[in-house]
Amino acid sequence: MSGLDEFGEIARLFRPLARGAEGAFELLDDAAVVPQRPGYDLVITKDAIVEGVHFLEREDPTLIGRRLARVNLSDLAAKGAEPFAAFLAVAWSKRFDEAGRAAFAAGLGMELKTAGVSLMGGDTVATPGPFTASLTAMGWVPAGRMVRRAGAQPGDRLMVSGHIGDGWLGLAAAQGQLGDPDGYLEGRYRLPTARLDLARTVLEHATAAADVSDGLIADAGNIARASQVGLILNLEQVPLSLSAKAWLLAQSDPAAARLALASGGDDYEIVATSSVALPGFTVIGDVVAGHGVDVRWGDASMDAGVGGWRHGLA
């Protein structure tokens, strides 16, 4: 570490990310104090990423830091929360030399600063295994108003923001399995966008919401399960980017191809339900009495399987 111990490295790399926040104590203590905001609840979420599992092996450390921030901020956006603070845990693998660690911190800091987030504390360790990092992100919502997965009611419409399927196609492009002349799809996978621009809309108008990390169908299913309702999801209405539409035209079975796009994950858009139209969202179905997600192609129901990524133990 060029003569720097853990404390020296924290001071050099991560203290600037605290941005002088009250309660962070310039990262000189082994704990932090989170100040209260009268009339608000503190929303807390946590996501971890592992090299070779959640991002490409040998990825640019700057992009890893940026991605870690964004996948966590995506969860806050889907809850209608205003980002506030974060705690970091990072396990450096052997490939992260001093320059690599600095690049990771710079990427993370770039995204946290843009979102108005202060780093309040955390821990750094070394690992003989793959690089692993976890961020605990916090945000404010007016008391009692966090938008949960539960809350969808029959009669609501099912909606999703942005485009779906680019993350799945982007992974294939990054692995050399798919042509991507302008690099758009690969960019969507390697550096997804957290939809903080839609957090206020979600807070004010959504009855339920979740971010689309594991696959649109799977994450919509989480809403159905928590809300104890059924969802009708029309594949033909799922919004696609121009790049995804071009890929779709080359597929022999459009129904199966659209099902794959809606199951792939890594889009980090927001799937929501509401009784009114939401700016920035596309209506893709309805909330009905019942349970689970009825995936439709035209008038026919399709077997969607699990509809996305299932987390489990090896």
Phi, psi for 113 (deg, rounded to 5): -65, -45
Mean pLDDT of 246-263: 97
Q: Is the pTM of this model over 0.75?
A: yes
Q: What pLDDT digit, counting tens, does each position of 260-299 carry?
A: 999 999 999 999 999 999 999 999 999 999 999 999 999 9
Work out the pLDDT band at 310, boundaries 50, 70, 90.
low
Cα–Cα distances (Å) from 278 to 158, 159, 225, 283, 297, in that order, read 10, 8, 22, 9, 24
Phi-psi region of 84 (alpha: psi -120 to 50; beta: other; left: phi over 0): alpha
Within 10 A of 177 (CB to CB), how many other CB atoms are there? 10
Average pLDDT score over the chain: 94
Q: Which domains does the chain have, with CATH numbers?
A: 6-142 (3.30.1330.10), 157-302 (3.90.650.10)
Q: What pLDDT digit, counting tens, does each position of 188-209 carry?
A: 999 999 999 999 999 999 999 9
pLDDT at residue 311, rounded to an integer: 47
Q: What pLDDT digit, counting tens, does each position of 96-129 carry?
A: 999 999 999 999 999 999 999 999 999 999 999 9
Within 10 A of 258 (CB to CB), how many other CB atoms are there? 24
pLDDT at residue 1, rounded to an integer: 36
- Cα–Cα dist 252/231, whole Å: 28
- Cα–Cα dist 268/189, whole Å: 10
Q: What pLDDT digit, counting tens, does each position of 34-61 carry?
A: 989 999 999 999 999 999 999 999 999 9
Kind and range of the H or E element at 269? strand 269-274
